[in-house]
Amino acid sequence: MSRTQQSSSLAFRLLILGLVLLLGLLQTGLWLSEDGWSEVLHLRRASDAQRAENANLTERNARLRAEVADLKGGFAALEERARADLGMVADDESFYLLVPVEDEADESSAPR
C-alpha cells in the first residue's frame, strides 16, 4: 500500500469512528434525557388514560341527555323521579312503613 492509500484509509476510519461516536451521543440523548423516549411513553400512557376518561364522560353525558329529554317530554319520567328521590305518594295510594321489631335478646344484652 502506498502512503496516500494508507492516509485515505486512516481518514476514512476516523470519519467512520466519528460518525459512530456522534450516533452514540445522539442515541444517548434520545434514550436518557427527560425529553426522550421516557417522556414519549409517559405521554402515551397519559393520552390513553385521558381517552378512557373521555369515553366514560361521553357515556355519562349521553345518559344525562336522555334523562333530560325524558323529563322534558312527559310526566311519567317526572313522576318516577319524584317517587324515587322524594318519596312521592299519589292521592289514591296508601303508604305503609314497616319497622322491624327489635329482638328481646338484643335489648337485654344492650348496656343501660
- What is the pLDDT confidence band of residue 109, given thresholds at 50, 70 and 90? low
Q: At what angle do helices 37-73 and 75-86 cross, to 10 degrees?
A: 110
User: What pLDDT, in 10s, does the model give residues 63-88?
Assistant: 999 888 877 877 777 777 777 787 77
User: What pLDDT, in 10s, does the model give residues 9-50?
Assistant: 888 999 999 999 999 988 887 778 777 788 888 999 999 999
> How far is 81 from 69, CA to CA, in rounded Å?
13
Q: Which three cell numbers stand for residue 49?
A: 388514560
> How far is 23 from 16, CA to CA, in rounded Å?
10
Our CA dihedral for 44, 49, 54, 60, rounded to 10 degrees, sits at: 170
Higher pLDDT, 37 or 109: 37
The residue written with cell numbers 338484643 in the block is: 106
Higher pLDDT, 1 or 14: 14
